[in-house]
Chain A
Amino acid sequence: MSINIKNLCFSYGRKFDPVLKNVNFSISDNTITVLLGLNGCGKTTLIKAIAGLFNNITGEISYNDTLLSSLSIRERSKLVAYVPQKISGIDDVKVEDYLTYGMVNSLKFYQTPSQSEKQKTIDMANKFHIEHLIHKNMSELSGGERQIVSLVSSLLQNTKIILLDEPTSALDLKNQSLVLSILKEISKRENKTIILSSHNPNHALFLECNVALMNEGKILKFGPANKIINVEDLRCIYGDNVCLSKDLPYTEISFV
């Protein structure tokens, strides 16, 4: 049971250089995978490709031998949820409303969430301790709160796979740790397969998960974080200044 990506190539247009060049890897169920790499290496593009936001990809993305491209938008949304780096168009939207939007794929076009579905939303909000936020506007939330609300909304979508595009990029240290802890918890308790992109190798170490090191649209290495993340490999991507904290002349602050 796994996600399989075969010979995946993508470019934003005929005149542009390819962003993804022959990506091949597979991710097994109930694991977390962190995509690591420089800005512009194709992390976000890869996540969006899996989310089904491009229709001119070549190669295959499949889940349990089902080609994702053969699924309808609705069927796909029941398998894969996507949390964008920044949510747009939510200026005056109430948090409680936003959360229910995650359930749209289980409703007919004329239906609205029933009382029981609304209750499910509140239960989920309670579970992630955001019940105090639900009457607020999305625009009133802090970056961390917004990221969690967005994540909860995607959990309400009730999919096997959750994709997150740099969920920690706009967050302070406390919120980074909070979001990552939640992700770790979800993957364990709820049997979810999570793929996220990040700039910080420490996040992968903290999550104790798989890592895909990406460079110029290709996967350089793929494997468990503690094996992949070593100074030599990181230097290939991030440059020669990378070092382990124990080699540093000062003590680095990191997650516990």
Chain B
Amino acid sequence: MKNKKTIIFLSASLLLFVIVFFLALMVGRYSISIGNFFKALFTNDPHFQTDRSVIITLRIPRTIVAGLTGIALSLSGLLYQETFQNKLTSPDLLGVSNGAGVGAALAIVIGLSSAFISVLAFAVGILTVMTTVLIAKFFRNGSSTILLLSGIIVGGLMSSLLSLIKYFAGNEVKLASITYWLMGSFANAKMETVYILLPIVAVSTIFLLSISWRINIVALGREEAQTKGINYTLYRYLIIGIATLLTASTVAFSGTISWIGLVIPHIVRLIAGRNTRKTIPLCITFGGIFMIVVDILSRTFTSEEIPLSAVTGLFGTIIFVIILFLKRRDYHEH
């Protein structure tokens, strides 16, 4: 019975994904009528070349990047929550986002181009997680708590480094860029971004789908997983590695985007229960839809784009409250 429900939700959300994707290509500050949209996209009429250019060079890349970012962030949120047996963790648990923020801020202060901002954000993000893992190793204690604690320590260090960089940025121009970057935006998404992000997200997602059932057993913790025949340490580092890669690569291009990594896994678990075999595919569709809708909202209603984190925060909270309200019976039973 539960299986059927998952399949229904999965196919419905897949359909919705396609609809939302096309909707995202149709709406924006530059208005294109539905008729013109199809003519621009499926004919070669030179009359619509401006429309076509807006769709192809602006909307398609940013919508794909939004979708990929949504998938990546909600998946890594789910992975962290399952692996660390803590529903309140989000993808920046081990300091990826904070680290990436430091990298980006540093690049902005030095005055590097946007490509290097991404490179530095990615590199420092990954380095931060490695530091976290190393510090945890230093304690010679394999427990998740130590890793979480180490994540908090390193995360704290990174946010103070960020404050320091912001302080030294001084210049109001750079400070504004840093703040803007930290709130996330897809405005700089280009086809090149897609070419880099797509393989990373696709390969990680396919791999995660293939081991999706096993993640359930990893989620039981070291003792149970290991005695049931799972190489817990290997899987845990693999999962942390993939989640970090996904978060760091998307954050590097779009800045830090809060909430989504927390909200989507919760919504999905409320629907499908706690079975990664079902929640992972649902996270992919739901995360993608959510982020594309957020992007539409952020760029359609005002002449300046609203930072993504502002929209995810607002929109995410509302959805979250509604779902908790609808599901309150289930919570009472427990």
Contacts and interface: CB of A to CB of B under 8 A. Distances in A.
Question: Do these two chains interact?
Answer: yes
A101 B228 contact: yes
Interface stretch (A82-90, A179-187, A217-225, A227-235): A82-90
B273 A92 contact: yes
A93 B214 contact: no
Main secondary structure of the interface of A (DSSP, over half): loop
A67 interface: no
Given A52-B227, A88-B221, A94-B2, A104 B214 contact: yes
B85 A104 contact: no
B224 A73 contact: no
B107 interface: no
A236 interface: no
Given A87-B220, A88-B85, A112-B277, A105 B334 contact: no
B228 to A, nearest CB: 5
A53 B334 contact: no
Interface string A119-145: 000000000000000010101100000
B216 A93 contact: yes
B223 A102 contact: no
Given A112-B277, A140-B334, A73 B231 contact: yes
A18 to B, nearest CB: 17
Given A91-B274, A109-B210, A110-B210, A101 B227 contact: no
Contacts of A21: none
A94 B273 CA distance: 8
Contact of B226 (A73, A87, A89, A97): A73
Contact of B229 (A90, A105, A110, A113): A105
B2 A101 contact: no
B311 interface: no
21 contacts: A51-B223, A53-B227, A73-B226, A73-B229, A76-B229, A77-B228, A81-B228, A88-B85, A88-B224, A89-B219, A93-B274, A101-B216, A104-B217, A104-B230, A105-B228, A105-B229, A109-B210, A109-B211, A109-B214, A111-B213, A135-B1
Interface of B: 1-2, 85, 140, 210-211, 213-214, 216-217, 219-224, 226-231, 269, 273-275, 277, 333-334
Interface of A: 13, 48, 51-53, 73-74, 76-78, 80-82, 84, 87-94, 97, 101-102, 104-105, 109-113, 135, 137, 139-140, 157
The 9 lowest CB-CB distance pairs between A and B, nearest first, are A105-B229, A77-B229, A92-B274, A82-B227, A110-B210, A89-B85, A112-B213, A74-B229, A89-B220
